[in-house]
C-alpha cells in the first residue's frame, strides 16, 4: 500500500545520501556508546560479584611465632595444591608478606597462601576420642533435654535462709512455722494429684530414633542414675514402640549430664496454649510490699505424673534397656504448660503470692500478714503433695532476686550476677556472639535510655548479607562500651503503683523519639520505665512538629497497659497538640493519631524543652 501511495501521489522520500566517511564516523560513535554501556554494566556486575565474594573475607594478620599452614603443590602433581604444615612465622616482611621457616630454609609467602594453624588443647583431644555426639546436639536448648539427677534427700529446714534483718522473735516464729511443715522442705520431689501431663499427638505412628553412642566412662554414672529413678518411681522398664535417644553433655565442672532428646516426639505433639504470666504483670502486683519470701519447688517438673495412656510416648533407650517416664520430663514441648496449669490451680484465689515457672514469691507489707500467707501457702503445698528445695528458699527478707531483677523497698534494679556477665563478656567477634550479647543486655532495655539507637551499630552487623566474622570499628566499640557503662551505674526504677497517677513525658529529635513514665513518691517524680525508638527512614522525613506528635502517640502506645482507662498527666509542649487539632484533616496519618488519642483521659501540663531532661536525653542520645 505504501508503494501504491508513492506511485499515485509521486510523494517519494529521498533517502539521505551519506558518504563513506560520515557513515563510518556515526557507526564508530554508536559502537563507542555501546561499549561504554557494556563497560558500566560489567563494572556493576563485578562490584556485585565482589560484594558477595567478600562477605566472609577477613584481613589475615600473623605475628612472629604463629604456626601456619601453607598452600603448596602436592608431591605427586605440581598442578594440584594442598595445605602443608604447620610451619612457624619468623618475621613480617611487608604489609601482606611473611617470612616462614619451612624446615632447613626460610621463604617469603603472601598472606593469601597462609592459614593460621590452631592446636587443640590436650583435654579436647581426649574428649573427642571418648565421647561421640550427634552433630545437631549443639542445637539443643534447656527445654529439649531431660536431666537425670540425684534424687537422694540431702537437704532440710536447716538449709533454709532467713532474712538478715529479722528480729529474734520473728526468726523464732519462722522456725516454728518450718517445724510444722518439715515434710515440705526436701530436695526429693513429691508427686501431686493436681494435674497430669498429657501428650496428644497428631499421628498414631510410633516415633523411633536410633540410640546415640554413649561413652564407656559415662555408662556407669548413667546406670546409677537409672537405678535411683527406678527406686524412686520416676521411671519404669518399658516395651513401648516409641523410643527417644539419650545423649551425654559435659557440664562446666567436668562431670557428665545425661539427657533425653524428645525432639521427634515434640514435632508431632499438639501444642498446649496455657498462658504464662508476664513479668510486667507480676512486678505490678508487688507494689507496696516490704517483706518477701522466695520458694523454689524441688524439680518441679518431676512432681507431676504422666497420664497412664501417655507414659509409653516418653520411652527412651539406654545401653541397659528401654525405660519410660512416670513423672513429667523436662524435654517435652508442653511440659512447661502443664506446670503452669498446676501452679494456677494450686494458687487459685490466694492473694500476695505470684509464681514464675516453679518459683513462688510471697510478698506482704507486714510480718504478721507474711507469716499467715506462708502458712496458707504451705497448707496448699501439703494438700497438693509438693515439696520445696530448702537451699533455694529464703524467708522474710526485705530484698530478693526474682525474674532476673533485684527487688527492694518498692524499687526494681538489675541482677548483679547478670550485670557481671555483661561487664566481663569478651568483645564479640561473630554474629552469634553479637546476638548473645544483645540478647542478654536487651533483657534490661527498660533501664537503658535509648537502647535501640545505642546498639544500632551492633545490631546492623547481624543483618543478612554481613560477614559472619564482624568488622569491629569505632562505632561498634562506642556502642559496646556505652551499654556496659550504663549498666555499671546500677540504674533503679520504681515499681508501678496503679493507685497513683502516672506522668508521661515525651520528646523527639531528628534521629529518635523518647518517652519516660513516672510516678510521684514523696512529692518528687521517680522513673517507672524508659522507652525510646530510633526513627525509620520515612519517619526522619517528618516535619519537626510531626515528630513531636509521633513521640506522644508512640509513648502512649508503649505504656498503654498502664494508661488505658485511667487519668494520667502528659507533660509536653502545647504546640504538638495544637498542631494535631489544626492539622487533623490534612492527611490520614494525623487523623489516625487524633482518633487514637481520643481513647485516653489525659491532663496536659505545659513543660519547657529545657525542663524535659529525661525524655529529651532518650531521643537525642542516638545522635
pLDDT single digits (tens) 176-222:
999 999 999 998 899 999 999 999 999 999 999 999 888 888 888 88
C-beta of residue 88 within 8 angstroms of C-beta of residue 65: yes
Q: Please report which confidence band the pLDDT of residue 581 belongs to, taking 50, 70 and 90 as the band edges.
A: low
- To which CATH superfamily is domain 412-488 assigned? Reverse transcriptase/Diguanylate cyclase domain (3.30.70.270)
Q: Indicate left, alpha or beta for 522 from its phi (over 0: left) and psi (-120 to 50: alpha).
A: left
67-116 CATH pick, 1.10.3470, 1.20.1690, 3.30.2000, 2.30.30: 2.30.30
> What pLDDT score was predicted for residue 135?
39
> What pLDDT score was predicted for residue 184?
94
C-beta of residue 329 within 8 angstroms of C-beta of residue 335: yes
Grid coordinates representing 245 are 535417644
Q: What is the CATH number of domain 496-620?
A: 3.10.20.370
Task: Choose among 459, 525, 539, 461: nearest CA to 493.
Answer: 525
Is the predicted pLDDT of residue 140 greater than 80, yes or no?
A: no
CB-count burial class (<10 Å; 0-12, 13-18, 19+) for 256: buried
Among 45-59, 62-76, 81-95, 424-438, the minimum mean pLDDT is found in 45-59
Q: Indicate left, alpha or beta for 359 from its phi (over 0: left) and psi (-120 to 50: alpha).
A: beta
Task: Choose among 225, 236, 219, 223: nearest CA to 151.
Answer: 225
| Omega within 30 of 0 (cis) for the link into 278 | no
Q: What is the CATH number of domain 146-403?
A: 3.10.10.10
Average pLDDT value for residue range 529-541: 85
- Concatenating the DSSP letter of every residue in 353-377 gives EEEETTEEEEEESSHHHHHHHHHHH
User: Residue 346: what are its φ and ψ, rounded to 5°?
Assistant: -65, -40
Beta strand 405-408 with 411-414: parallel, antiparallel or unpaired?
antiparallel
Q: Please report which confidence band the pLDDT of residue 582 belongs to, taking 50, 70 and 90 as the band edges.
A: low
Residue scoring higher pLDDT (612 or 448): 448
d(CA 501, CA 313): 53
> What pLDDT score was predicted for residue 378?
96
DSSP structure class, residue 194: S
Is the predicted pLDDT of residue 25 greater than 50, yes or no?
A: yes
Among 1-10, 141-150, 402-411, the minimum mean pLDDT is found in 141-150
Question: What does pTM read for this prediction?
Answer: 0.66
Average pLDDT value for residue range 66-74: 91
Q: Which helix (H) or strand (E) holds 141?
A: none
pLDDT tens string 428-437: 989 988 998 8
Helices (H), 206-275: 216-232, 263-267
Sorted by where each begins, the domain ranges of the chain are 19-54, 67-116, 146-403, 412-488, 496-620
Angle between helices 367-384 and 168-180 (to 10 degrees): 10
Residue scoring higher pLDDT (145 or 559): 559
> What pLDDT score was predicted for residue 172?
94
Q: Same CATH fold, 496-620 and 146-403?
A: no
> What pLDDT score was predicted for residue 361?
95
Q: Which helix (H) or strand (E) holds 474?
A: helix 474-488
> What pLDDT score was predicted for residue 586?
66
Grid coordinates representing 413 are 534494679
Task: Choose among 479, 528, 468, 484: nearest CA to 503.
Answer: 528
Task: Choose among 315, 265, 262: nearest CA to 141.
Answer: 262
Among 24-38, 360-374, 479-493, the minimum mean pLDDT is found in 479-493
Is the predicted pLDDT of residue 580 greater than 80, yes or no?
A: no
Largest CA distance in the chain: 127
The residue count of the chain comes to 623
Give the torsion sign (CA, 367, 369, 373, 376): positive
Grid coordinates representing 131 are 565421647
pLDDT tens string 281-317: 888 899 889 999 999 999 889 999 999 999 999 999 9
For the chain, the distance separating the N- and C-terminal CA atoms, rounded to the nearest angstrom, is 72
d(CA 566, CA 556): 12
C-beta of residue 369 within 8 angstroms of C-beta of residue 352: yes
Task: Choose among 239, 583, 621: nearest CA to 452.
Answer: 621
User: Residue 123: what are its φ and ψ, rounded to 5°?
Assistant: -65, -30
pLDDT tens string 320-362: 899 999 999 988 999 999 999 999 999 999 999 999 888 999 9
Residue scoring higher pLDDT (623 or 55): 55
d(CA 500, CA 503): 10
Average pLDDT value for residue range 473-495: 87
Q: What is the mean pLDDT of the chain?
A: 84
Task: Choose among 221, 222, 228: nearest CA to 260.
Answer: 222
Is the predicted pLDDT of residue 59 greater than 90, yes or no?
A: no
Average pLDDT value for residue range 369-385: 96
Task: Choose among 198, 236, 234: nearest CA to 339.
Answer: 198
Rg (alpha carbons) of the chain, rounded to whole number: 35
User: Percent of the chain having pLDDT more than 70?
Assistant: 87
Average pLDDT value for residue range 570-582: 73
Q: Give the list of residues 6+ apart from residue 619 with CB closer than 8 angstroms, or none.
A: 450, 507, 508, 509, 511, 512, 513, 514, 532, 551
Average pLDDT value for residue range 368-386: 95
Grid coordinates representing 85 are 604444615
Is the predicted pLDDT of residue 169 greater than 80, yes or no?
A: yes
Amino acid at each position: 500500500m505504501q508503494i501504491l501511495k508513492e506511485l499515485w501521489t509521486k510523494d517519494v522520500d529521498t533517502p539521505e545520501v551519506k558518504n563513506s566517511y560520515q557513515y563510518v564516523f556515526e557507526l564508530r560513535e554508536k559502537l563507542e556508546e555501546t561499549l561504554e554501556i557494556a563497560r558500566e554494566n560489567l563494572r556493576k556486575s563485578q562490584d556485585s560479584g565482589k560484594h558477595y565474594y567478600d562477605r566472609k573475607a577477613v584481613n589475615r594478620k600473623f605475628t612472629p611465632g604463629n604456626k601456619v599452614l601453607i598452600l603448596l603443590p602436592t608431591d605427586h602433581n605440581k598442578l594440584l595444591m594442598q595445605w602443608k604444615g604447620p610451619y612457624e612465622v619468623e618475621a613480617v616482611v611487608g604489609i601482606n608478606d611473611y617470612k616462614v621457616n619451612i624446615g632447613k630454609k626460610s621463604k617469603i609467602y603472601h598472606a593469601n597462601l597462609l592459614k593460621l594453624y590452631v592446636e587443640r588443647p590436650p583435654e579436647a583431644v581426649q574428649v573427642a576420642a571418648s565421647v561421640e555426639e550427634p552433630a545437631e546436639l549443639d542445637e539443643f536448648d534447656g527445654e529439649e533435654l531431660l536431666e537425670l539427677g540425684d534424687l537422694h534427700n540431702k537437704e532440710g529446714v536447716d538449709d533454709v535462709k532467713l532474712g538478715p534483718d529479722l528480729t529474734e522473735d520473728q526468726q523464732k516464729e519462722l522456725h516454728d512455722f518450718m517445724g510444722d511443715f518439715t515434710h515440705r522442705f526436701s530436695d526429693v520431689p513429691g508427686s501431686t494429684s493436681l494435674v497430669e501431663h498429657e501428650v496428644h499427638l497428631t499421628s498414631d505412628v510410633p516415633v523411633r530414633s536410633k540410640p546415640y553412642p554413649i561413652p564407656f566412662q559415662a555408662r556407669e554414672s548413667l546406670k546409677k542414675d537409672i537405678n535411683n529413678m527406678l527406686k524412686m518411681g520416676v521411671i519404669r522398664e518399658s516395651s513401648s514402640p516409641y523410643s527417644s535417644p539419650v545423649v551425654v553433655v559435659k557440664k562446666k565442672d567436668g562431670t557428665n549430664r545425661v539427657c533425653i532428646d524428645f525432639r521427634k516426639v515434640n514435632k508431632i505433639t499438639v501444642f498446649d496454649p496455657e498462658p504464662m504470666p508476664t513479668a510486667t504483670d507480676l512486678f505490678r502486683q508487688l507494689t507496696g510490699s516490704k517483706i518477701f519470701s522466695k520458694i523454689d519447688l524441688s524439680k518441679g517438673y518431676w512432681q507431676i505424673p504422666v497420664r497412664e495412656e501417655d507414659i509409653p510416648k516418653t520411652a527412651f533407650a539406654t545401653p541397659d534397656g528401654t525405660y519410660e517416664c512416670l513423672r513429667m520430663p523436662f524435654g517435652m514441648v508442653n511440659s512447661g504448660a502443664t506446670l503452669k496449669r498446676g501452679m494456677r490451680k494450686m494458687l487459685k484465689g490466694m492473694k500476695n503470692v505470684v509464681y514464675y515457672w516453679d518459683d513462688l514469691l510471697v510478698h506482704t507489707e507486714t510480718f504478721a500478714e507474711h507469716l499467715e500467707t506462708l502458712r496458707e501457702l504451705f497448707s496448699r503445698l501439703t494438700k497438693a503433695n509438693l515439696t520445696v528445695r530448702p537451699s533455694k528458699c529464703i524467708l522474710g527478707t526485705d530484698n530478693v532476686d526474682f525474674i532476673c531483677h533485684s527487688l527492694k523497698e518498692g524499687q526494681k534494679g538489675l541482677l548483679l550476677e547478670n550485670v557481671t556477665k555483661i561487664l566481663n563478656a569478651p568483645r564479640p567477634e561473630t554474629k552469634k556472639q553479637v546476638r548473645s550479647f544483645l540478647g542478654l543486655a536487651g533483657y534490661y532495655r527498660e533501664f537503658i535510655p535509648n537502647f535501640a539507637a545505642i546498639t544500632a551499630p551492633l545490631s546492623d552487623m547481624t543483618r543478612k548479607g554481613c560477614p559472619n566474622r564482624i568488622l569491629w570499628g569505632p562505632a561498634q566499640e562506642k556502642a559496646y562500651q556505652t551499654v556496659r557503662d550504663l549498666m555499671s551505674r546500677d540504674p533503679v526504677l520504681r515499681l508501678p503503683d496503679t493507685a497513683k497517677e502516672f506522668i508521661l513525658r515525651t520528646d523527639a529529635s531528628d534521629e529518635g523519639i523518647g518517652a519516660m513514665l513516672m510516678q510521684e513518691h514523696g512529692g518528687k517524680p521517680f522513673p517507672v520505665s524508659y522507652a525510646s525508638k530510633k526513627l525509620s527512614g520515612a519517619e526522619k522525613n517528618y516535619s519537626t512538629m510531626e515528630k513531636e506528635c509521633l513521640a506522644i502517640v508512640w509513648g502512649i502506645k508503649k505504656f498503654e497497659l498502664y494508661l488505658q482507662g485511667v487519668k494520667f498527666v502528659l507533660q509536653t509542649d502545647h504546640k504538638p497538640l495544637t498542631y494535631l487539632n489544626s492539622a487533623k484533616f490534612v492527611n490520614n496519618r494525623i487523623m489516625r493519631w487524633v482518633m487514637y488519642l481520643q481513647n485516653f483521659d489525659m491532663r496536659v501540663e505545659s513543660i519547657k524543652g529545657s525542663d524535659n531532661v529525661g525524655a529529651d536525653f532518650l531521643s537525642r542520645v542516638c545522635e
